[in-house]
Structure 1
Amino acid sequence: MSFDVVDVQGTEIRIIGSDDCALVLSDKIVQGTVYSFSGSGGIRHSNQAYTPFEATWEIQANKGMEFTALDEDAMFPRIVLAKTSILSACQKERDSFVDVVGIVIWIGTITVTSRDSGTFVKKRTLCLGDDSGHSVDLCLWDLKAEEEGSYIQERIDSGVQPIICVKGGKVSDYNGKSLSAIGVSTILIELEMEAVADLREWMTLYYNVTNFIHLSTSSSRQIVSCTTTLSEISNIVIATVKEMKTDEFYYNACINVVNARQCGKKTTQTADGWFCSYCNIVSANMEFKYALKMCIEDSSSHMWAIAFQEATQEIVGMSAKELATMRDENYPAFSLLIDGIRSKIYKFKIWSKLEKYQDMEKLRFYILGLDT
């Protein structure tokens, strides 16, 4: 048995116990608890092939080693991560250990597979994505497939898309690139730390319009790579605007500030003001925000896409409120502006996402802006 400890300075070391000592330690040690310990069987050079962090030494435990649980101390880090992006992790050599933080996009069921030795082991695969715009298969083995995997499945079933920290994931070149959470790996789910908060903020803004490039070849949910025409579903296309839905090109957005950012969710008008179901509050005012449906076309095909606030403002050149006022008060000028947009050729930045609605999957397209 082995377990990894970290002190208040963030220095990590591994403690290893064998035979009877391992049984004693397994009954004493609880992950996430702060301990003081004394006595050991000595130290020895660590085996970096089995250690998921940089360490020169490891501690050899014995049955006389004493562990005393202490009160929780916020000064002690729950986990120390040498965080890297999923893209960078998959560029490392096979059998490298990596630390990643990612969004669970989907998770599979538990399967049983055989080892080369003839023994059987449980396995569960999930797809992990991050703000690099890439995703990868993460394989959970043995108890991790049952325990962490089952909890992640429960969170997804309840409508929550969890963010997990993987410390000591092992890089594999099986099926392209993949990561494995093995015995020495640690998985923490929805941890309160800066890296998780940053990714959740990115998720709120960009997840629904991000077309993850999948780095594992075993999954059927890979993303079509960049091409040059609409018929081939590209990420950047040169096209013109064929049609615009100018009757409903904006929505009434919530102005409430959540975590230093405007909520921006759709509101409904009530007798008391503008109600946001997301914030569960009524505000006296709201803000016009773009949600413009556009049909764009090139020489090969055409498609409908949605452009939200920043993208539409870049194309139109004014705010949603200004455009709505122009339509209502000076329709000839409004019509002239729309005709001018249709007459130009644009280099659109396009993202597509496979969305599920009433048990049917449909590929939707979003305009992120113009490529200048």
Structure 2
Amino acid sequence: MPVSLTPNAITAINAGDVNLKPLLQVLDIKLIGKIQERGQERYRLLISDGALAEHAMIAVQLNDRVKSGQVVIGSIVQLIDYICSTVKNRKLIVVLNMETIIPQSETIGNPKMSPESDAEAQIPLSAPGSMPPPNRAVFNEPAIQQSVNKAPPRGVNFQNPANSTATPSFRPSVQPSYQPPPSYRNHGPIMKNEAPARIIPIAALNPYQGRWAIKARVTAKGDIRRYNNAKGDGKVFSFDLLDSDGGEIRITCFNAVVDRFHDVVEVGKVYLISKGSLKPAQKNFNHLKNEWEIFLEATSTVELCPDEDGSIPRQQFSFRPISDIESAENNTILDTIGVVTSVNPSVPILRKNGMETHRRVLNLKDESGKAVEVTLWGEFCNREGRQLEEMVVDSAFYPVLAIKAGKVSDFSGKSIGTISSTQLFINPDFPEAQKLRSWFDHGGKDIASSSISRDNMPGGGSRNEIRKTVSQIKEEGLGRSDKPDWVTVKATVSFIKTDSFCYTACPLMIGDKQCNKKVTQTGTNTWLCDRCNQESEECDYRYLLQVQIQDHSGLTWVTAFQESGEEIMGCPAKQIYTLKNELQNDEEFAEIVRNRLFHQYLLKLKIKEESYGDEQRVKITVVKVDKVNYTSESKYLLDLVRREIS
């Protein structure tokens, strides 16, 4: 029996029917090159219904069908998911999914090019009744033979009478001739774009489409960011979507569009979105597994939808064990999950642009036998970071933490850091979290883990907080390399120099920062700043403390500036300056100093060799002062003992 293609299928598809699922024959295959900037190959087919032929572009995820020989010239295929677009006034079918029904067949009918296709295009001369030449398509004889030997696909009848040696013939199920879709009957003329856009999966989005709509849940929403470039000032924000088929895509809004949609979009809600433009995803900033991202425009629509059946998941994870992170490339964006074993205090950090942010470091471990340092930045320190600190430090409870879109850093070992699109889930109700919780509670807590974050202090400190003794600073020659050394010392303040403990500072603002450079008095009530080249009627008083610290191994001198000085002295520098120099109350001043001695702290130190004239000296600066938390310190010491035993 001859093979029956779907009659009038090309006409129907060109008219907009996307539900036909027709049987068509491949007459030609052509590699048209690679997509610019992404290096992906694209294949164009010439497909026929026996009467008419039309060009079709296959989605990149179908390239393997051609390369492996599943689709060759002569193949009978069934289009499962497709659209028809107009490109430069010519029709082009975009195939998103298809199945090979018959691997290879002689040309069926005498097809001609569709009137709506390229007028100069012709049916290839090699097509009628001939096998494809080697350079026209990938031909894989074993693959074809294997396909023939498989059980017949649905809708194909193999006729092979008993005791017959004839070659089996194939007959796909015959589909009816094309009829206009019922929804378009008896409606009279329809204005262009009057019909609502068809909802399609995110995975089916491509730039060849005209009108489309997607229904998806917002899984992440970024803050509004402001920028300045050659075109002027602007603002931008993005949010991520997830649909019921597991497809993800990022949507970006600029300027006036930000004002329209930023307050409308909420994380966790489902929206119907249409009339956006697709552009190549910027992979430096977009971690989602999609080659495209959507830019909303003035005509775009974002409509809230009821989450009736809950078919769209709340979140989608691709968890990787900590042991895999060790081999991940720098700047890789990934998901991971582990048990939080330690949390450090939040530390203020001054960015290169002069703005201040905060950093908090914690440690994760999992069943792979590895541990990793996680750095929380900005608001993550105050929100989830504070909650984790209360659990671990204050309550001695070790929660499970799932990290969505963490960024891998390979500076001094591998670590994970948060970015604007990162999401943290504390004790989530996931199967992976429940399994990890059970492992930790039934012995995992006592299993020693090897950290993939080198220079990591036992007990969970960050790479900039390596625990040392006072004597090790000199014995190991810290600070004498090109870069400073950063260590943490548990020590007692044993002496404070009081002859010069502060300096007069400039109170003027430079942008968002106070100048703070030393000023000199030029008159009775005026102070001159050489940096600002201005005079002020007042000045600030900022700490410049010289402090002697000691532990069981020895003692050394350190310098503490404003914030660290206030922690050590317990009051502002101006208060003590007034007491000593203006009120001349030496007794009360001495009492304050005595009360600040012999307190024990965790001192985070920056150690660097500097030049003073012709002499090289190692300067030790206190960058952070923390009171000793004896609960955390006990855990640190216990961990040291476990490491020594193991």
Q: Tell me the TM-score normalised to structure 2 length.
A: 0.34
Equivalences for residues 193-232 of structure 1 within 5 A: 193-221=430-458
Q: Residues 190 and 57 (structure 1 numbering): CA distance in 2 closer, same or farther, change over 3 Å?
A: same
CA distance in 2, matches of 1:122, 1:40: 40
Aligned to 2:314: 78
Among candidates 383, 398, 406, match of residue 147 of structure 1: 383
Equivalences for residues 273-284 of structure 1 within 5 A: none
Among candidates 227, 240, 245, match of residue 4 of structure 1: 240
Aligned to 1:166: 403
Higher RCO (CA 8 Å, separation ≥ 6 residues): 1
Among candidates 403, 409, 412, match of residue 175 of structure 1: 412
Aligned to 1:47: 282
Instruction: Establish whether residue 68 from structure 1 lines up as the match of residue 324 from structure 2.
Output: no
Q: Residues 132 and 172 (structure 1 numbering): CA distance in 2 closer, same or farther, change over 3 Å?
A: same
CA distance in 2, matches of 1:53, 1:10: 12
Among candidates 66, 69, 90, match of residue 326 of structure 2: 90
Q: Residues 17 and 357 (structure 1 numbering): CA distance in 2 closer, same or farther, change over 3 Å?
A: closer
Q: Match of 1:4, as an amino acid? A: D
1:116-141 Cα offsets, whole Å, 9 max, x none, are: 33332221111111111111111111
CA distance in 2, matches of 1:114, 1:191: 33
Aligned to 2:638: 362
Q: Match of 2:265, as an amino acid? A: I
Q: Residues 183 and 357 (structure 1 numbering): CA distance in 2 closer, same or farther, change over 3 Å?
A: closer
User: Is the CA contact (8 Å cut-off) linking 1:34 and 1:72 kept in structure 2?
Assistant: no
Deviation of residue 159 (structure 1)?
4.3
Give 5+ residue unaligned stretches, structure 2: 1-236, 461-629
Q: Residues 73 and 140 (structure 1 numbering): CA distance in 2 closer, same or farther, change over 3 Å?
A: farther
CA distance in 1, matches of 2:264, 2:398: 33
Deviation of residue 166 (structure 1)?
0.9
Q: Tell me the TM-score normalised to structure 1 length.
A: 0.57
Q: Residues 34 and 99 (structure 1 numbering): CA distance in 2 closer, same or farther, change over 3 Å?
A: same
Aligned to 2:266: 30
Q: Of the two, which has the highest radius of gyration?
A: 2
CA distance in 2, matches of 1:155, 1:28: 34
Give 5+ residue unaligned stretches, structure 1: 224-354, 367-372
Q: Residues 21 and 111 (structure 1 numbering): CA distance in 2 closer, same or farther, change over 3 Å?
A: farther
Equivalences for residues 248-327 of structure 1 within 5 A: none
CA distance in 2, matches of 1:107, 1:11: 35
Q: Match of 1:22, as an amino acid? A: V
CA distance in 1, matches of 2:632, 2:351: 40
User: Is the CA contact (8 Å cut-off) linking 2:272 and 2:304 kept in structure 1?
Assistant: yes
User: Is the CA contact (8 Å cut-off) linking 2:351 and 2:357 kept in structure 1?
Assistant: yes
Aligned to 1:114: 350
User: Is the CA contact (8 Å cut-off) linking 1:90 and 1:171 kept in structure 2?
Assistant: no
Q: Residues 65 and 109 (structure 1 numbering): CA distance in 2 closer, same or farther, change over 3 Å?
A: farther
User: Is the CA contact (8 Å cut-off) linking 2:342 and 2:459 kept in structure 1?
Assistant: no
CA distance in 2, matches of 1:73, 1:143: 34
Q: Residues 50 and 162 (structure 1 numbering): CA distance in 2 closer, same or farther, change over 3 Å?
A: same
User: Is the CA contact (8 Å cut-off) linking 2:448 and 2:642 kept in structure 1?
Assistant: no
Q: Match of 1:190, as an amino acid? A: N
Q: Residues 358 and 130 (structure 1 numbering): CA distance in 2 closer, same or farther, change over 3 Å?
A: closer
Deviation of residue 201 (structure 1)?
1.8
| Structure 2 counterpart SS, 1:167 | strand
User: Is the CA contact (8 Å cut-off) linking 1:82 and 1:98 kept in structure 2?
Assistant: yes
Deviation of residue 218 (structure 1)?
4.4
CA distance in 2, matches of 1:114, 1:145: 15
Deviation of residue 113 (structure 1)?
1.5
Identity %: 24
Q: Residues 144 and 72 (structure 1 numbering): CA distance in 2 closer, same or farther, change over 3 Å?
A: farther
CA distance in 1, matches of 2:632, 2:419: 36
Deviation of residue 73 (structure 1)?
5.0
| Structure 2 counterpart SS, 1:126 | strand
| Structure 2 counterpart SS, 1:79 | coil
| Structure 1 counterpart SS, 2:312 | coil
Q: Residues 160 and 71 (structure 1 numbering): CA distance in 2 closer, same or farther, change over 3 Å?
A: farther
User: Is the CA contact (8 Å cut-off) linking 1:214 and 1:221 kept in structure 2?
Assistant: no
**Which of 133-142 and 107-116 deviates more?**
107-116
Deviation of residue 109 (structure 1)?
1.5
Deviant stretches of 4+, over 6 Å: 355-358
Deviation of residue 74 (structure 1)?
4.1
Deviation of residue 41 (structure 1)?
3.1
Q: Residues 45 and 107 (structure 1 numbering): CA distance in 2 closer, same or farther, change over 3 Å?
A: same
Among candidates 340, 358, 361, match of residue 104 of structure 1: 340
Aligned to 2:597: none
User: Is the CA contact (8 Å cut-off) linking 1:45 and 1:58 kept in structure 2?
Assistant: yes
| Structure 1 counterpart SS, 2:638 | strand
Deviation of residue 61 (structure 1)?
2.0
